[in-house]
Structure 1
Amino acid sequence: MPSSTALPRLILASSSKYRKELLSRLRLPFEILVPAIDEAPHIGEAPETTALRLAKEKAFAVAQQAPNALVIGSDQVATLDGEQIGKPGTHANALEQLRKMRGRQVVFHTALCLWDGRRKGDEKAAQIQNVQTFVMFRDLPDHELDAYLRIEQPYDCAGSAKNEGLGIAILEKIESDDPTALTGLPLIALTTMLRHAGVSFFGE
């Protein structure tokens, strides 16, 4: 295991403000570099496979720019009946998503990759994990769904709801081993990975 005497350069490979806020909770200094990758799923690719692949590709892309750094890559794919649900982008798309999901369970795959650039040529350079979250949506009428969307405008969120905001009011139940996974960065999994990489959270 690499020495923990000096904190290695830590980089979040993401432009997400949600992941930035979550990582800030760990009180570790970090930088942000946005990876330039194609995030489209491959034809016939399973949702979990998509999330894991993109998390690793994001981390690897940034690791090439930052030798010896610890790079965090993460990706989330929401699924209904096994079909991927993307970011809606528009109000109309978001409303259609919520209509399909009301009264039903949606599975969120939040994949995490920690790439350790100090392990050059080591097959263990990447730690990777998928954290599943099972979310039951309330069976709400169109006018409530429409009102929610106009208030919060979660058009950049897969599943069209921000559980950390007013979106919690349209959810009935959340089941996960990691409460931050649904927001986009599973901190329990991440702190485990960082510990394995020699990072100390409370000093020596």
Structure 2
Amino acid sequence: MDPRPLLLASSSPYRRQLLTRLGIPFEAVSPEIDESPARHESPEQLATRLATAKAEALAPAWPDHWIIGSDQVACLQDGTLLNKPGNHELAVQQLTRSSGQRVSFMTGLTLLDATSGKRQSHCELFHAHFRKLGAEEIENYLKVEQPYDCAGSFKMEGLGIALFTKLEGRDPNSLVGLPLIALTDMLRNWGLNPLLQPPGRSAKLET
């Protein structure tokens, strides 16, 4: 299969920053999809379905591209989903519930060939074990980083690393929102090896 231009189906600055690390030119466009979970859908199924839906939503307008869709679902040990909090109050509630618990992150990934409809999909599992956090620690952390647009209410690449006692998983990039190891595998499967590419240009964000 001949490599095609890459399109990231996301407006997330975190995913754009991660994809830039592969050194392959790409563009980024925000897809419009319904992210509501389906009845009886597991977190893994939800993450993978939404990743695929994001890629498919852009396929008609970008027919000659390989489209990367990714979506993350976080849940407590009892299965409670942790969404992006959006504000301070909900972030406090999430971190309070996560304190002393293992939180699982399922990051769905789809690489779609918009021309043929062929696709590869994967769900990357990663566990974060939270320290027992006091109210003052939670308040101070949120004031420092304000991670209100992040599932689980933290930024692992910043001070958020101090929230954990242990991280378990193959690819810590999946915590940020894009499993680069799995994506590299997919690109190589279709003949695009990031290790054999010239340095890429910066991503161009389309709205």
Common fold: TM-score over 0.5: yes
Match of 1:91 in 2: 88
Which residues in structure 2 correspond to 1:60-75 (within 5 Å)? 60-75=56-71
Give the secondary-structure state (helix, strand or coil) at the position aligned to 2:136: helix
**C-alpha deviation, 1:68, in angstroms:** 2.1
Give the secondary-structure state (helix, strand or coil) at the position aligned to 2:147: coil
Paired-residue identity, %: 49
Match of 1:37 in 2: 33
Partner Cα separation in structure 1 for residue 113 and residue 171 of structure 2: 23
Partner Cα separation in structure 1 for residue 127 and residue 111 of structure 2: 24
Which residues in structure 2 correspond to 1:18-33 (within 5 Å)? 18-33=14-29
2:150 corresponds to 1:150: no
Match of 1:49 in 2: 45
What CA deviation, in whole Å up to 9, does each residue of 1:105-132 have, x standing for no partner? Answer: 0000001000012324xxxx11000000
2:100 corresponds to 1:107: no
**C-alpha deviation, 1:43, in angstroms:** 2.9
Is the Cα contact below 8 Å between 1:86 and 1:159 reproduced in 2?
yes
Partner Cα separation in structure 2 for residue 37 and residue 202 of structure 1: 33
Give the secondary-structure state (helix, strand or coil) at the position aligned to 2:53: helix
Query: Any unmatched runs of 5+ in structure 1?
Result: none
Match of 1:167 in 2: 160
Query: Any unmatched runs of 5+ in structure 2?
Result: 198-207
Higher relative contact order (CA 8 A, sep 6+): 2
Match of 2:203 in 1: none
2:171 corresponds to 1:178: yes
Is the Cα contact below 8 Å between 1:47 and 1:83 reproduced in 2?
no
The one-letter code of the counterpart of 1:47 is P
Partner Cα separation in structure 2 for residue 19 and residue 115 of structure 1: 17
The one-letter code of the counterpart of 1:118 is T
Partner Cα separation in structure 1 for residue 170 and residue 195 of structure 2: 23
Partner Cα separation in structure 1 for residue 133 and residue 193 of structure 2: 45
Partner Cα separation in structure 1 for residue 107 and residue 10 of structure 2: 14
What CA deviation, in whole Å up to 9, does each residue of 1:84-117 have, x standing for no partner? Answer: 1111111010001111010000000001000012
Partner Cα separation in structure 2 for residue 195 and residue 83 of structure 1: 35
The one-letter code of the counterpart of 2:32 is A
Give the secondary-structure state (helix, strand or coil) at the position aligned to 2:173: coil
Partner Cα separation in structure 1 for residue 42 and residue 16 of structure 2: 27
Give the secondary-structure state (helix, strand or coil) at the position aligned to 2:176: coil
TM-score (normalizing by structure 1):
0.93
- CA RMSD, Structure 1 to Structure 2 (Å): 1.2
Worse-matched range after superposition: 89-98 or 170-179: 170-179
What number of residue pairs does the alignment pair up?
196
